[in-house]
């Protein structure tokens, strides 16, 4: 069975500072990894995803994530955050072992960007 | 192109009442999903439908039923609501073309309060 652990439930940062949101996963088969963002009172939308190939994945709004198979991690980074990045961020994993691709989500990290 | 739409946006029920949450997508997607989101728990899959005519249980199906009415619509029914079902409910869809994990597209959510 697959699982996702987001190591920080809340991350407060100041505007223009760098940020890293941490995600570790476990799975016995090859995985596909995702980061979704949820702005206040909205549904989730995809930031980026890793399927194969280059381990550094670039997404929307200047975010990027690096897949590290040996450490089973997929941390999300942004070099300089804006107030508008305040949101909850969810890491998710899907594996290739089933007949239907289902996502397992982490519990979320609330990123708060302060002026 | 509205994407994924959900009705109602907000609902208050008394314990024991029933209701149906509606979801529709206009992206010609094959797969549809129902999740619930609770504070500190992330998103948990209730039911999913890999294609029209099929439905399967997810992680937390107890107390819920679903109907895949046609390719566009996927409804979630609470037969006898309980306070533990107070949550935010999200519907999502994905293309499911058989390629490595497609993105899931989420609706804006339904906030349900059971008294």
- Please give the pLDDT value at position B26: 95
Query: Cβ of A96 under 8 Å from any chain B Cβ?
Result: yes
pLDDT over 80 (residue A96) = no
Residue in A34, A101, A107 closest to B41 by CB = A107
pLDDT over 90 (residue A99) = no
CA dist., res. A64 & res. A22, Å (int): 12
pLDDT over 80 (residue A23) = yes
Query: Cβ of A10 under 8 Å from any chain B Cβ?
Result: no
Residue in A45, A49, A96 closest to B106 by CB = A45
Query: Cβ of A46 under 8 Å from any chain B Cβ?
Result: yes
The proportion of chain B whose per-residue pLDDT surpasses 90, expressed as a percent, equals 77
Ranges A55-59, A77-81, B94-98, B106-110: which has the least confidence: B94-98
Selected residue of B33, B104, B107, B108 to mutate for chain A interface (largest A Cβ count, 10 A)? B104
Specify burial of residue B84 (Cβ count, 10 A radius: 0-12, 13-18, 19+).
exposed
Q: Which of B8, B12, B44, B26 is nearest to B93 (CA)?
A: B26
- Please give the pLDDT value at position A30: 75
- Please give the pLDDT value at position B82: 97
pLDDT over 70 (residue A97) = no
């Amino acid at each position: 069975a697959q699982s996702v652990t987001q190591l920080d439930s809340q991350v407060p940062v100041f505007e223009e500072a760098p940020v890293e949101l941490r995600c570790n996963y476990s799975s016995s088969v090859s995985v596909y990894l995702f980061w979704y963002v949820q702005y206040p009172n909205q549904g989730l939308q995809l930031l980026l995803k890793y399927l194969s190939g280059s381990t550094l994945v670039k997404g929307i709004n200047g975010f990027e994530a690096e897949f590290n198979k040996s450490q089973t991690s997929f941390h999300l980074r942004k070099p300089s955050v804006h107030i508008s990045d305040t949101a909850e961020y969810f890491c998710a994993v899907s594996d290739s072992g089933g007949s239907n691709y289902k996502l397992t989500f982490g519990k979320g990290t609330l990123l708060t960007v302060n002026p | 192109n509205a994407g994924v739409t959900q009705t109602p946006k907000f609902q208050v029920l008394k314990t024991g009442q029933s209701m149906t949450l509606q979801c529709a997508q206009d992206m010609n997607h094959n797969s549809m999903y129902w999740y619930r989101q609770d504070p500190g728990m992330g998103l948990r899959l209730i039911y999913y439908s890999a294609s029209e005519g099929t439905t399967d249980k997810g992680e937390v199906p107890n107390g819920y039923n679903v109907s895949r009415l046609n390719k566009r619509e996927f409804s979630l029914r609470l037969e006898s609501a309980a306070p533990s079902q107070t949550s935010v409910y999200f519907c999502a869809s994905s293309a499911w073309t058989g390629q490595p994990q497609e993105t899931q597209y989420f609706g804006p959510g339904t906030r349900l309060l059971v008294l």
